Chains A and B, each alone.
Chain A
Amino acid sequence: MKTLGVFFNKHNNPLIMKELDDYKYALDESAIVAITNPKGIIIHANDNFCRISKYSRDELLGMDHRIINSSFHSKDFIRDLWGTIANGKIWKGELKNKAKDGTVYWVDTTIVPFLDQDGKPYQYVAIRSDITQRKQSEERLLKSLKEVSDYKFALDESSIVAITDQKGIINFVNDNFCKISKYEREELIGKDHRIINSGFHPKEFIRDLWVTIANGKIWKGELKNRAKDGTYYWVDTTIVPFLNELGKPFQYVAIRSDITLRKKAEEDLIKYSSALEFKNTQLIDFCNIVSHNLRAPLINISMLIDYIDQSTDDEERQMMHSKIKPVVNHVMEIFNELVESIQVQQETGIESDKIYLKECLDKVLISFEAQINEYEASIELDAGEAPIIRFPHKYFESIVSNLVSNALKYKSPERKPNIKIESKKVNDTVLLSVCDNGLGIDLHLHRNNLFKIRKTFHKHPDARGFGLFMTKTQIESMGGKIWVESTPDKGSTFFVEFNNQIV
């Protein structure tokens, strides 16, 4: 004990004094040092302490540590600190303090209590080092980590997410992906995206997608996929390639959102607008019919009557009078045609019948027997590919009858009529063609008017301009199409497309 007392008696040993001074110097240079009395009143603060706290020494001495309290730490934390050192134990920890100008700084702190002979602390030496930068980076890191996980949460909540490797093998899907595709997670992991391929998109489209992302570029687009139960869904898709140090994609993150309803609405809109457009065309045609075809004979009657009123010649009056009756008949005829065409247009939901082409044609040809014999016409049927057509029976008979009638009516005076009728399967439609070797039609002049009412293209006494109009009306009312190819003086081929032929 005595030796120890001698050893610590700094006044007595200049060598030890020097060593202690050196330690103090080194400590003051390297650390933030403060000494407080047992009540926590600051009795010493080194230059580093003043610098970091931005207080002058005079402002610090005599104050307790609350002067630099940032209020960041909980009461329990501070109570634990005081409990530790008041019990004579060293406390270590990280403290957030507040400088004079209100800025905060972090210090790694060691508080060493110095004990008197009774083992009670008579002063505390606090040695601190500035760790503000480290703490700030830590805080930033935590914040961005939190942000990232918030983003991920938000993304998973809102979107359909899948991650694939560079070969397109799925190694992550979120719940939304499972929900929309109706697959279990286990069924998807390890598979590629072909599992949900709908086959809707052309190969070039898919190739373009892959080329884009394989080149490290983001791809955006709308995809139609197929769920496990065979139903289809549309997704707005963004595929982001994640690149390695070499700039090569090592994984792809696909973020999708369900746009099935929007797509359905779009499809409906297109359907409705084309139906509307069709109705509108019909309406314009109807207005034209009323304006041109019905008004014209009415004017005839009115002009005839005016003439009769003004004429004084009885014979002339008689002659004019006799002209009225045929015009009235003509009005009646047009009127009846109009009613007939409107009936067809109104007759939605008419049932299709199973029509045996050969049987039906034979029946139609009976009414043309006289003409066929007179013209020595030959009629050939090739229905091998599609012998049966589904269509309303009365329309079909009328269509075939009209087309055959035209082919005979507009025969070439130089050739015996030859009519070839053929039916072909094209996907789910049947294409019927009626090909003749007659006069032909100058499509350059008449393409736009061919199927309109009261349009005729030949000087033929029986041409009324009603047949093709009616034929077109009947075909279109069932969602089919009619068109023609023709060369003047070579002949015409009328094509009729009957849709929904697969039962």
Chain B
Amino acid sequence: MTTIKQLTLVDDDEIFVFLTSKMLVHSKLVDLIKIFDNGYDALVFLKENLGNIDALPDIILLDLSMPIMDGWEFLEEYVKINPLIGKKITIYICSSSISPADVIRAKTINEVSDFIIKPITKDKLVELIKNL
């Protein structure tokens, strides 16, 4: 079984975070799950740990609609610091949005690997991790 060290959830939806975390724990594929409820806190954490490979996640599941700093604003800043990050981080947008405009916008950002429309199933989570 492939396992990864860390997956970070950036999402303010408490129930989604709760259920996703439960599924991940149950899958036993992830050693550590980190949670931020807005883009700003996640960004601050990344900036503080640019070279600290052990602290950085392998995968980020990024929500779009969040307070303080939403997913798009986070990505705008992430693109700027990406060259300084000492680890390859795979970002999936994970949003309840079904707006085609959002999907098209996501495609223009190289740092985004895919756009996952919620809900996310346990099988899908396993697939994401295994494909890494």
Binding site for B on A (CB under 8 A): 287-288, 291-293, 295-296, 299-300, 302-304, 306-307, 323, 327, 445, 449, 454-459, 463, 465
Q: How far is the CA of A459 from the CA of B70 in the complex (A)?
A: 13
Q: How far is the CA of A304 from the CA of B15 in the complex (A)?
A: 8
A296:B68 contact, CB within 8 angstroms? no
Interface centre among B13, B15, B102 (most CB of A within 10 A): B15
- Asked whether B19 is an interface residue with its Cβ less than 8 Å from the other chain, the reply is yes
Among B1-9, B48-56, B80-88, B91-99, the stretch in contact with A = B91-99
Contact of B96 among A292, A304, A306, A459 (CB under 8 A): A292
Q: How far is the CA of A427 from the CA of B99 in the complex (A)?
A: 42
Contact of A299 among B22, B70, B118 (CB under 8 A): B118
B64:A455 contact, CB within 8 angstroms? no
B73 contacts across to A, CB distance below 8 A: 445
B94-108 Cβ-contact flags toward A at 8 Å (1 or 0): 011111001000000
B98:A291 contact, CB within 8 angstroms? yes
Some 10 contacts from A to B, beta carbons below 8 A apart, are A291-B99, A292-B64, A295-B96, A295-B98, A296-B65, A299-B118, A300-B15, A300-B16, A454-B65, A458-B67
A459:B67 contact, CB within 8 angstroms? yes
B15:A323 contact, CB within 8 angstroms? yes
Q: How far is the CA of A262 from the CA of B119 in the complex (A)?
A: 54
A287:B15 contact, CB within 8 angstroms? no
A299:B96 contact, CB within 8 angstroms? yes
A292 contacts across to B, CB distance below 8 A: 64-65, 95-97, 99
Which 5 pairs of residues, A with B, have the shortest CB-CB distance? A296-B96, A456-B67, A300-B15, A295-B96, A292-B65
**Least CB separation from A298: chain B residue:** B96
Contact of A463 among B67, B69, B97 (CB under 8 A): B67
B118 contacts across to A, CB distance below 8 A: 295-296, 299
Interface centre among A303, A458, A465 (most CB of B within 10 A): A303
B18 contacts across to A, CB distance below 8 A: 323
B67:A300 contact, CB within 8 angstroms? no
Known: A288-B99, A456-B68. 5 other contacts (CB 8 A): A291-B98, A299-B96, A299-B119, A303-B19, A465-B67
B15 contacts across to A, CB distance below 8 A: 300, 303-304, 323, 327
A300:B13 contact, CB within 8 angstroms? yes
Report the interface size class on chain B.
20 to 34
Min CB distance A297 to B, Å, is 8
Min CB distance B36 to A, Å, is 12
Min CB distance B99 to A, Å, is 5
B13:A459 contact, CB within 8 angstroms? no
**Least CB separation from A307: chain B residue:** B19
**Least CB separation from B16: chain A residue:** A300
Min CB distance A307 to B, Å, is 6
Interface centre among B16, B119, B121 (most CB of A within 10 A): B119
Given contacts A292-B97, A445-B73, contact A455 B67 (CB under 8 A): yes
Q: How far is the CA of A232 from the CA of B114 in the complex (A)?
A: 60
Min CB distance B92 to A, Å, is 16
Interface centre among A299, A306, A323, A327 (most CB of B within 10 A): A299
Q: How far is the CA of A293 from the CA of B18 in the complex (A)?
A: 18
Contact of B97 among A291, A303, A323, A445 (CB under 8 A): A291
Min CB distance B127 to A, Å, is 17
A295:B13 contact, CB within 8 angstroms? no
Among B12-42, those with CB < 8 Å from A are: 13, 15-16, 18-19, 22
A295:B97 contact, CB within 8 angstroms? yes
Min CB distance A211 to B, Å, is 49
Q: How far is the CA of A287 from the CA of B98 in the complex (A)?
A: 10
B68:A457 contact, CB within 8 angstroms? yes
**Least CB separation from B118: chain A residue:** A299
A302:B67 contact, CB within 8 angstroms? no
A303 contacts across to B, CB distance below 8 A: 15-16, 19, 119
Min CB distance A239 to B, Å, is 51
Min CB distance A130 to B, Å, is 87
Q: How far is the CA of A43 from the CA of B119 in the complex (A)?
A: 121
A295 contacts across to B, CB distance below 8 A: 96-98, 118
Min CB distance B64 to A, Å, is 7
B110-130 Cβ-contact flags toward A at 8 Å (1 or 0): 000000001101000000000
A455 contacts across to B, CB distance below 8 A: 67, 70
A327 contacts across to B, CB distance below 8 A: 15
A449 contacts across to B, CB distance below 8 A: 70
Min CB distance A302 to B, Å, is 6
Given contacts A291-B98, A299-B118, A299-B119, contact A458 B65 (CB under 8 A): no
A287 contacts across to B, CB distance below 8 A: 99
Min CB distance B98 to A, Å, is 5
A454 contacts across to B, CB distance below 8 A: 65
Q: How far is the CA of A288 from the CA of B73 in the complex (A)?
A: 17
B102 contacts across to A, CB distance below 8 A: 291
Interface centre among A288, A300, A307 (most CB of B within 10 A): A300
Q: How far is the CA of A299 from the CA of B99 in the complex (A)?
A: 15
B67:A296 contact, CB within 8 angstroms? no
